[in-house]
A = this chain, B = another copy of it.
Amino acid sequence: MAVVIGVLSSKNPAERRTPMVPDVAKKLRAQGAEIVMQRGAGAGAYLSEADFPDVQWVDTADEVLARADMLWTVSPPDEATLAQLRPGSTVLGLLAPYGSADRARELAQKNITAFAMELLPRISRAQSMDILSSQGAAAGYQCVLIAAAFCPKFFPMLTYAAGTIRPARVLVIGAGVAGLQAIATAKRLGAMVEGYDVRPETKEQVESLGAKFVDTGVSAAGTGGYARELTEEEKAQQAVKLGKAIAQADVLITTAAVPGKRAPLIVTDEMVRGMKPGAVVVDMAAETGGNVAGTLPNQDVWVGGVRIIGPVNLPSNMPVHASEMFSKNLFNFISPFIKDGALVLDDTDEVLTGATLTANGEVKHPGVKQALGL
């Protein structure tokens, strides 16, 4: 029997992405799946019903949820949606697995197979499914656009008839996918760019983008592509070296995250106060507590002459391309398990099992269980 894939329209106007784009719908249909979408889904990404010849459109979320064997979603289902999910069905998308013990419990109790793409193993084979990476690229790019728009200076060097403008100095802390994209974008715009990360293996990547690596002498290579937490002594050493680079920056972009934990506080109030008047800070970690003292999510905060911006859900600012990448990532994750239209999951598959939040009535992921005390 053909698997029915459901997509709801977003209840949150600030979430403009859709997990289903026309190209992916077409491929799923070719695999024999059926797709049911709620009217309005895709509108945030400027997609109309006419763009989806392979989809059945229904008026209400109820109708989608009554029929869906598998729900694709860009954000965790809310209470009402959770309550209506069909027992035994599958949910696939960004589920904020560390965000709520109640949600994890309810998914398990309803016997939902929930794949949280945040939990995807960071192995080579899974790169084409890596939503954190694709959305991180969008976020890193957006950070630079925000910083450039608020910076009172040109990013590029400019020679005009009466002289030469020196390029702005941009410092990017955290050289994951988002940070590297921020570095690349700031370089494109012509700024002098420095990059920093506690993982020493990022030095080469930062330098390959034409940026200078800030060497603090602290190394914190961790597992799974993330850094481990630093000791107090290491933090102090990092602070001294970083402080100098921060004081010289016209723009500071911070992107350091630790999955399931508060973001590390890297830039102290003192460092912020040491920045130039007119300096701009964009703290991409605002949603998880911020890398910068004083950051508030979704707000601009002034500390003296320094503006600290705490943007949230940056990929939603560019919903066309963010949705395209998101949808392709989900397709690459699940399509090997759609056979003659039916969903046939394989619980020996390393990628599937790694991304499993709940299945068979249980919360499965060890890291999440530990973090949430389940």
Contact = CB atoms under 8 A, between A and B. Distances in A.
Interface of A: 16, 45-46, 48, 127-130, 133-134, 137-138, 141-142, 145-146, 148-149, 151-154, 156, 158, 160-163, 165, 185, 188-190, 276-278, 305, 317-321, 324-325, 328-329, 332
A318 B154 contact: yes
A305 B134 CA distance: 25
A154 B138 contact: yes
B305 A153 contact: no
Contact of A165 (B146, B185, B305, B325): B325
Contacts of A325: 160, 162-163, 165
A321 B250 CA distance: 12
Nearest to A129: B162
Most B Cβ at <10 Å: residue of A127, A160, A318, A329 = A160
A281 to B, nearest CB: 15
Contacts of A319: 152
Given A188-B190, A189-B185, A128 B161 contact: yes
The 10 A-B pairs of least Cβ separation, nearest first, read: A46-B278, A127-B161, A46-B277, A152-B320, A162-B328, A128-B162, A128-B161, A145-B149, A153-B321, A153-B320
A137 B156 contact: no
7 contacts: A130-B161, A137-B160, A145-B149, A152-B321, A154-B318, A162-B328, A162-B332
